[in-house]
Amino acid sequence: MDDMELEDVAKALVAPSKGILAADESTGTIKKRLDSINTPSTEETRRDYRELLLSTKGAGDFISGVILYDETIRQKATDGRPLTELIKAQGIIPGIKVDKGTKPLAFSDGELVTEGLDGLRERLNEYRELGARFAKWRAVIAIKDGIPSQYCIDVNSHALARYAALCQEAGLVPIVEPEVLMDGDHNIDECYAVTETTLKTVFDELYQQRVVLEQMLLKPNMVISGSDCPEQADVEEVASKTLYCFEQTVPAAVPGIVFLSGGQSEQQATMHLNAMNQMGKFPWEISYSFGRALQASALKTWQGKPENVEAAQAAFHHRAKLTSAARDGEYRPDME
Ligand code: 13P
């Protein structure tokens, strides 16, 4: 795994039956997750939780890569091994979130820009030394009255492309994540329009900045109704509009599209992924890079208690297995 070419890493991350576990919650976000199970967020509990997921027996059958947070990639498992060693022993490729989160965008009301480019070349070199073979940078695009502006889409796309070029220079596969948020009461067609414009802008910037498409993965949102929209599009509509949107915007040279779950329930995200994979021929692999939709049941089962570790691992294994089935278009609700 250590001396794989970037194209091979990208392909391995979207191998049949496999996808990515996003376990790169920032310190603030993981605190929210641990608060939800009344568990204090300490360096140790965060390590215990990530170790629980990553040491699940058979996880490597369904998980090709894991996105880690800066703290996690430096942590050791309970047995003293670096967590990256435990991950590699499972046949899973370690990855790393390298953006530094969002800040309000100047001269814009309510839009965000992702930061983290300063010093990025040096940080990427260090992460590669620590074992990472791919990276992630998330840009956030919100839909509300009057937003997003093209200005917001442009600056975020420019930053995504600068990050992606630096990753390839450093020998890491960039996962390019422009997330159009599902928060709000907008309908699926508004989500389609914003996602299409965003992806067109992102791929234009990637081209301008000489990013090699064969050596990257795209991590987009699905084209979906806003979470407060009174008329929720059904599974078929989400799947067909999402695929149509990618046909219009994502070059065939990109090896894979790995979805974020973005606040969908575990089953909803699984059903959407499955429907797309059943819809037949397209030029890219269609897989997953889920955070919440792979972790929700495991987190709830764990409750921060050592006596629940085994049950939580069983819950994670079950969810990963179902998500993997959906990635192959072979999921059925009765498997739940
Ligand atoms: P969710 O699947 O919970 O949206 O997380 C994926 C992710 O990495 C967001 O950046």
Task: Exactly one of 18, 88, 136, 219 is catalytic; name it.
Answer: 219
pLDDT the model gives residue 281:
87
pLDDT tens for 165-213 read 999 999 999 999 999 999 999 999 999 999 999 999 999 999 999 999 9
* Mean pLDDT, rounded, of the chain: 97
pLDDT tens-digit map of 38-96: 999 999 999 999 999 999 999 999 999 999 999 999 999 999 999 999 999 999 999 99
- Residue 106 located in a structural domain: yes
Catalytic residue among 111, 177, 266, 285: 177
Instruction: Please give the helix or strand (H or E) that residue 311 lies within, else none.
Output: helix 309-327
Q: Kindly give the number of the ligand 1 atom that is closest to the alpha carbon of 138.
A: 10
Residue 244 resides in a domain? yes
Backbone angles phi, psi at 97, to 5 degrees: -75, 125
Q: From the CA of 230, how far away is ligand 1's center (Å)?
A: 24
- Is the residue at 1 inside a domain? no
User: Looking at residue 280, what is its pLDDT?
Assistant: 78
> For residue 3, what pLDDT is reported?
78
The protein residue whose alpha carbon is closest to atom 4 in ligand 1 is 262
The reported pLDDT for the residue numbered 55 is: 98
Ligand 1 site residues (CB inside 6 A) read 22, 138, 177, 260-262, 290-293
Beta strand 134-141 with 102-104 is unpaired
* Prediction pTM value: 0.97
Domain assignment present for residue 201? The answer is: yes
The CATH number of the domain holding residue 81 is 3.20.20.70
The answer as to whether 313 is a domain residue is yes
% of the chain with per-residue pLDDT over 90: 98
25 is catalytic: no
Share of the chain above pLDDT 70, in %: 100
Catalytic residue list contains 177: yes
φ and ψ at 56, to 5 degrees? -60, 125
Q: Please write the tens of the pLDDT for every residue from 312-330.
A: 999 999 999 999 999 999 9
Question: Does 32 score more than 90 pLDDT?
Answer: yes
CA distance 71 to 252: 35
For residue 219, being part of any structural domain is answered with yes
Dist. CA 220–CA 182, nearest whole Å: 12
| Ligand 1: centre distance to CA 177 (Å) | 10
Question: What is residue 138's predicted lDDT score, i.e. its pLDDT?
Answer: 98
Residue 297 domain boundaries: 6-335
pLDDT band at 105 (very low <50, low <70, confident <90, very high): very high
User: Is the model's pLDDT at 266 over the cut of 80?
Assistant: yes
pLDDT at position 27 is 97
Domain count, the chain: 1
* Ligand 1 atom having least distance to the Cα of 260: 2
